[in-house]
Amino acid sequence: MLWYTGKRLLQIIPVLLGATFLIYFMVFSMPGDPIAALFGDRPPAPGVIEQLREQYHLNEPFIVQYFYYLAGIFQGDFGVTYSGQPVNEVLARTFPVTIRLALLAIFFEMIAGISVGLISGLRKGGIFDATGLGVSLVLISLPIFVLGFVAQYFMGIQWGWFSPTVGAGAPTQDLILPALVLATISFAQISRLTRSSVIETQGLDFVRTAYSKGLSGKRIVPVHILRNSLIPVVTYLGTDFGTLLVGATVTEGIFNVPGVGRTLYQAVIRGEGPTVVSFVTIMVLLYLIVNLLIDLLYAVLDPRIRYA
Amino acid sequence: MSTPLLQVKDLEVAFRTQNGVVQAVRGVSFTLDRGSSLAIVGESGSGKSTTAHAIINLLPGTGHISGGQILLDGEDLAKASQNEMEHIRGRKIGFVPQDPMSNLNPVWSIGFQVEEAIRANGIATGRKEVKARAIQVLKEAGLQDADRRLKQYPHQFSGGMRQRVLIGMGLAANPQLLIADEPTSALDVTVQRVILDHLESLTRELGTTLLFITHDLGLAAERAEQLLVMYKGQVVEAGPSREILQNPQHPYTQRLVAAAPSLASRRIQATGSIAAAESAIAADAATAAGEAIDLIATAEARAEALEAAAAQPPAIVVENLTKVFKIRGSGDFKAVDDVSFQIRRGTTTALVGESGSGKSTVAKMLLKLEEATSGKIVVGGKDLASTSGKELFALRSRMQPVFQDPYGSLNPLRNIGNTIAEPLQTHKVGTKASRRERVFELLDQVSLPRTLLGRYPNELSGGQRQRIAIARALALKPEIVILDEAVSALDVLVQAQILRLLAELQAELNLTYLFITHDLAVVRVIADNVCVMQKGRIVEAATTDEVFGSPKEQYTRDLLAAIPGANIELGA
Amino acid sequence: MPDQSSSKLPIEHYVAPLEETKLEAIDSVKTEGKPSNLWIDAWADLRRRPMFWISSALILIIVFIALFPGLFTNEPPNANCLLANSNGAPVAGHPLGFTRQGCDVWSRIVHGAGTSLSVGIIVTILVFTLGVIFGAFAGYYGGWTDGILSRVGDIFFSIPYILAAVVIMTVLANYRSVWVISLAIGIFAWPATARVLRSEILRVKNSDFVTAATAIGVSRFKILWAHVVPNSIAPVIVIATISLAGAIVAEATLSFLGVGLPTNIMSWGNDIAQAQTTLRTAPQVLIYPSIALSLTVFSFIMLGEVVRDALDPKARAQR
């Protein structure tokens, strides 16, 4: 396990360097003055331009600029936003909200996705299974912002089940609707993945052997079928986190959730380049860290990896 | 004590498929007395495993019992509820499955999986008692260091060790009946023997009744008092093992006995009369009288052919061949260690060994699919090490392989015609029309209809695919064919057919064979010379008769002793 | 009464009557029916499935609308917009009413189809090409080639492609077009395809038929394209269908965020973004393009689903 953890940590380094380089490259190797390009036709306050020039070391050669930028990231310095506020300050304010929203969404999608997938898989070909497959196909086809508006309009405005936008301080009950929206697309994927994984596991030899030992279905389903079926589902959560990040940006925008996503959303809408770059970088780092954690979780779930 | 333990009456099992209901078992009946043992023998698709799974009510997929009774102690299992079956499984009927690699859950420790069986059957309660019983069960199954290995996971166990765990689990609750479904066919022969011996003594000690499922007639006769021969879902013959082996009555059993390599005692004599080989395989009582004469004649012819071959330069010379694999973390691994042998033109040399003996690596180096670390391979007078480019390309046409897995050796997306023609196209032999003619000729040679030309591999059986692979190998008229476990995956009757085909082709085309196999029994019917490999080295090399008649090395003797049914006297 | 030694009595030797158990020839060849392989079988399977025909028909209709928008509406999407009609209800000739700017909703939807499809197709071609090249070479050649190609893939994979596209489109604010947005999406979307193909290739390349081809003397490069890739491509085709849907969503999302296509190019995502301010008062203006977008995506997802069922024997068994 220690060896595996070490290996994964080493493997993440080139990816980390490559990803930050790519982002930097995308922004600063473009023709013309990158600062001007970042702001387009919306010039910022005069002091900010100077601050940015200094922050990005624009007078140095490209590769040196990149290393300055990288050094900044490793010191936890993500520069300033469009309005000149340190990114870290904004982050300290918004991050906890997004974490709550994301955890809520992951909780919903896991509980619902795994239960629906498990029942569908165990009763393959039944009415529940057929309905589940149909519904999940429709849900997968709905872009998150369409889903967000539909939920906001009906559940928030028309029927008044939830508050259509999130109030000050983002109380958790206000986060339920955006979290449900955020969870929906992944729910469909997770339920389908669980279903096919359960069907596959059910047919494996060791399940038959478990029955032959005299175990009851009540024990075999959770211990031998579900436990093994969860491995691919957990692996999927890593990739899914990327979807979740993009989804959070859109959902937080629609529901006005004061989180990291809305900050990025507003920066994008208003064309505030430097803020966009900073927050995308933060999200990519977050994505990498979560994927590393999921890889480690994978090793916990599968002894073949742990002891390889 | 008068009622038998198990009575199966007119058992029928059916599967629902897209094309309607398929009857897999049709009216099987047998009885099993307490403490006795019965083996169900048959080829794949005969319904032998389905019968076993029906008894314990674990039929896969859409399988269901569609008729008949299964009486265990007078209770009809065919009508038992799910709950009742749960109670019967483990406690009254134990089950040992076939493949040790896939029958243990990879995410739970061995201890966990044994303990849950003990707990489910109420053998012991309380953490300590259950653990103690688990250790005891595993020790009985032959796992000496069970207490230490309880926390380990299945992938940390070897195949043989896993099979011991499975046997231990099957017997954990002292069931009256143990169903063993091909319990050792995935293991090396020597391991197989040890485990079967152990299973036998264990069940004898416990007084367990044994129902044995196997495809190997020799193994069945050696391990069970009674035999039940199944063919296409029906019982064709049943009775005392030895009697059936010595005096098979049904033509199917006769075929099976004749084809079982473990029971055969002589090389297929294709030289001269093919009909002789035919009758040697068929072992038909009616032609037995004529057969003896033919055999002497063909044996003499074969001896002459071998003498003639001795005069020619050898087709393959291998000298001090060594292959070292570098393994990260654990240094070097010598897969092939100083191996030398020669194969004369038109003869067959078998390279025999268990898994990991390095025999397949030798084949790969001969085919130049793998580079030798040191040593020399000379094929048809050319040193393989110095050939490359055009010379290697030319050399390839003189030496062709046939592999083990009939399902992997043909490209599933290419039709048969294109598959057989590929070597011709690659080497730019002839025109399109002449290549087509050659494909027809090859199909004739391997006794397949010409109509297969536009068909795809997935429509063919394993044996037929192997024939196609042989046809492809012969397309360029090679001198040497390397047969890497080429018949190992086939059912016995099909295996015998392919072996006979190989012998005929050798006689007809003067082919040189390097026959690589783990199955010493097959060697006897195909090879002239044998090299026995162990851990990368050749431990014994001699003619087939010498190896079988007077083996010099202990390892060879172990291998020979492990051939199931080898010491069963067949009737005159 | 039989005693305990009854089991020791000789067991009778049973032989089934021959007429009841007819022997068949060993390994006889059956050549009835049509030839079959993966693709032939998949096509036969697809033809029987109504979902295949429904999704194909939907896609054909959308393609037709995209190619010939003039046949479906006489209204230009941008001109003739009267603010007096802002968020107006349907009237004759304007079946779905008007947008906030007073443009015809139906006309905008019809003209938006081409944009969505173009982006979908360009991105899919890009993703397929890059994914196949990277995946095939990495999986087949292994070693250093694999090490480098896979790391490059990992790096591109580490940035969720919509986020990457957001950055690119922000920087290239002055160059926004269908081509640029397609490149921005595609350049980061290929690693998933490459990974799937790579693992398929790893599975196929050790098959005996590949070794047999090597032993015949077929060159490595030719084996890759003639034997290995055809046997590995099926899952990639499924992904390509689904990624077409993904690309359409990505374009709409970017346009919705305001970093997609400029307003003079019709895009459903733009229209949905425009309509969100009046969600409370005129939800229909937002709903119609949403339906068009979701239905298009649904068609491709559904097609991908049936194609997967047909091509993947495992998925077929799970139906």
Is B376 inside any structural domain? yes
Contact A207, A144 (CB under 8 A): no
SS3 breakdown of chain B: % helix, strand, coil, rounded to 5?
A: 45, 25, 35
Is B570 inside any structural domain? yes
In chain C the first and final C-alpha atoms are separated, in Å, by 57
CA atoms within 13 A on the CB side of B474: 25
- Residue B289: predicted pLDDT: 36
> A107 and A50: one domain?
no
Question: If contacts are CB pairs under 8 Å, which of residues 16-45 in chain B contact chain C?
Answer: 33-36
% of chain B with per-residue pLDDT over 90: 47
- Residue B286: predicted pLDDT: 36
What mean pLDDT, rounded, does chain B reach? 86
At residue A145, what are phi and psi to the nearest 5 degrees? -75, -30
> A103 and A31: one domain?
no
A262 CB neighbour count, 10 Å cutoff: 23
Q: Is A228 on the interface with B (CB under 8 A)?
A: yes
* pLDDT tens per residue, range B101-160: 899 999 999 999 999 999 999 888 889 999 999 999 999 888 888 889 999 999 999 888
- Residue A308: predicted pLDDT: 59
Domain with C301, as residue range(s), is: 118-318
- What type of residue is B124? A
Question: To the nearest whole angstrom, how far is the Cα of C22 from the nearest Cα of chain B?
Answer: 9
Mean pLDDT of B366-376: 90
SS3 breakdown of chain A: % helix, strand, coil, rounded to 5?
A: 80, 0, 20
B369, B404, B448: residue with CB nearest C215: B369
Is C83 inside any structural domain? no
Whether A304 sits inside 8 A of B153 (CB atoms) is yes
B91, B107, B173: residue with CB nearest A227: B107
- Residue C247: predicted pLDDT: 94
> B443 and B503: one domain?
no
As a whole number of angstroms, the distance between CA C42 and CA B253 comes to 41
Is B408 inside any structural domain? no
- Residue B212: predicted pLDDT: 93
> B461 and B484: one domain?
no
> A68 and A98: one domain?
no
Is B426 inside any structural domain? yes
- Residue C6: predicted pLDDT: 39
Burial (CB < 10 A; 0-12, 13-18, 19+), residue C41, is: middle
> A202 and A65: one domain?
no
- Residue B483: predicted pLDDT: 94
Contact B351, B514 (CB under 8 A): yes
Is C70 inside any structural domain? no
Is A40 inside any structural domain? yes
Please report, to the nearest 10 degrees, the dihedral formed by the alpha carbons of residues B311, B314, B319, B322 taken in order. -150
* pLDDT tens per residue, range B424-436: 999 998 899 999 9
Q: Kindly report the CATH number assigned to the domain that includes residue C179.
A: 1.10.3720.10
Find tokens 């992904």 and name the residue: C239
Is A244 inside any structural domain? yes
B64-72 and B75-76 strand pairing: antiparallel
Is A175 inside any structural domain? yes
Mean pLDDT of B242-250: 88
Domain with B388, as residue range(s), is: 260-398+478-572
Which of A188-197, B233-242, B516-525 is predicted least confidently?
B516-525
> B496 and B537: one domain?
yes
- Residue C273: predicted pLDDT: 86
- Residue C1: predicted pLDDT: 37
B27, β-bridge pairs? none
As a whole number of angstroms, the distance between CA A221 and CA A123 comes to 12
Q: Give every residue of chain C whose pLDDT is below 70, as ranges.
A: 1-11, 319
Mean pLDDT of B369-398: 87
Q: Is C50 on the interface with B (CB under 8 A)?
A: no
B404, B459, B493: residue with CB nearest C26: B493
Please report, to the nearest 10 degrees, the dihedral formed by the alpha carbons of residues B49, B53, B55, B59 taken in order. -130
Is A223 inside any structural domain? yes
Residue of C158, C196, C319 to mutate, testing the A interface (most A Cβ within 10 Å of its Cβ): C158
Whether A219 sits inside 8 A of B86 (CB atoms) is no
Which of A209-213, B323-327, B360-364, C250-254 is predicted least confidently?
B323-327
- Written as six digits, the tokens of A197 are 């994984």
C82 CB neighbour count, 10 Å cutoff: 11
- The count of structural domains within chain A is 2
Contact A76, A151 (CB under 8 A): no
ipTM: 0.86
- The count of structural domains within chain C is 1
Contact C83, C98 (CB under 8 A): no
Where in B160-203 does DSSP place strands (E)? 177-181
- The count of structural domains within chain B is 3
Question: If contacts are CB pairs under 8 Å, which of residues 103-142 in chain B contact chain C?
Answer: none
Q: Kindly report the CATH number assigned to the domain that includes residue B56.
A: 3.40.50.300
CA atoms within 13 A on the CB side of C66: 21
As a whole number of angstroms, the distance between CA C186 and CA C195 comes to 15
As a whole number of angstroms, the distance between CA C63 and CA C116 comes to 10
> A187 and A244: one domain?
yes
Confidence of residue B69 (pLDDT cuts 50, 70, 90): very high
> B503 and B529: one domain?
yes
pLDDT at B283 over 60: no
- The DSSP string of A23-88 is HHHHHHSSSS-HHHHHHTT----HHHHHHHHHHTTTTS-HHHHHHHHHHHHHTT---B-TTS-BHH
Is B407 inside any structural domain? no
Q: Kindly report the CATH number assigned to the domain that includes residue A186.
A: 1.10.3720.10
pLDDT at B270 over 80: no
Q: Is A19 on the interface with C (CB under 8 A)?
A: yes
pTM (predicted TM-score): 0.87
DSSP, res B414: S
Is B255 inside any structural domain? no
Whether C212 sits inside 8 A of B401 (CB atoms) is yes
Contact B59, B50 (CB under 8 A): yes
- Report the chain C residue with the minimal C-alpha distance to residue A242: C160
Confidence of residue B300 (pLDDT cuts 50, 70, 90): low
DSSP, res A158: I
Is A287 inside any structural domain? yes
- Residue C15: predicted pLDDT: 85
> A129 and A183: one domain?
yes
Is A81 inside any structural domain? no
B329 CB neighbour count, 10 Å cutoff: 5
As a whole number of angstroms, the distance between CA C239 and CA C230 comes to 15
Domain with A261, as residue range(s), is: 94-301
> B23 and B84: one domain?
yes
- Residue A38: predicted pLDDT: 63
Is C270 inside any structural domain? yes
- Written as six digits, the tokens of B31 are 């009885």
Is C9 inside any structural domain? no
Residue of C4, C5, C14 to mutate, testing the B interface (most B Cβ within 10 Å of its Cβ): C14
The series of mean pLDDT values per 10 residues for chain A, 308 residues long, is: 83 88 78 62 68 69 78 78 79 90 93 95 91 91 90 85 79 88 92 93 93 93 94 89 90 90 87 81 90 89 79
> A17 and A139: one domain?
no
Is B405 inside any structural domain? no
Whose CA is closest to B508, among B341, B334, B281, B277? B277
C174 vs A contacts (CB less than 8 Å): 37, 40
Mean pLDDT of B357-361: 90
C179 CB neighbour count, 10 Å cutoff: 12
* pLDDT tens per residue, range B307-320: 766 677 888 999 99
> B61 and B110: one domain?
yes
C279 vs A contacts (CB less than 8 Å): 149, 152-153, 157
Dihedral class, residue A84 (left if φ above 0, else alpha if ψ from -120 to 50, else beta) = left
C2, C207, C215: residue with CB nearest B2: C2
Whether B169 sits inside 8 A of A213 (CB atoms) is yes
> A111 and A241: one domain?
yes
Q: Long-range contacts: B418-422, Cβ < 8 Å, 24+?
A: B419/B457, B419/B468, B419/B472, B420/B468, B420/B471, B420/B472, B420/B475, B421/B475, B422/B472, B422/B475, B422/C213, B422/C216, B422/C218
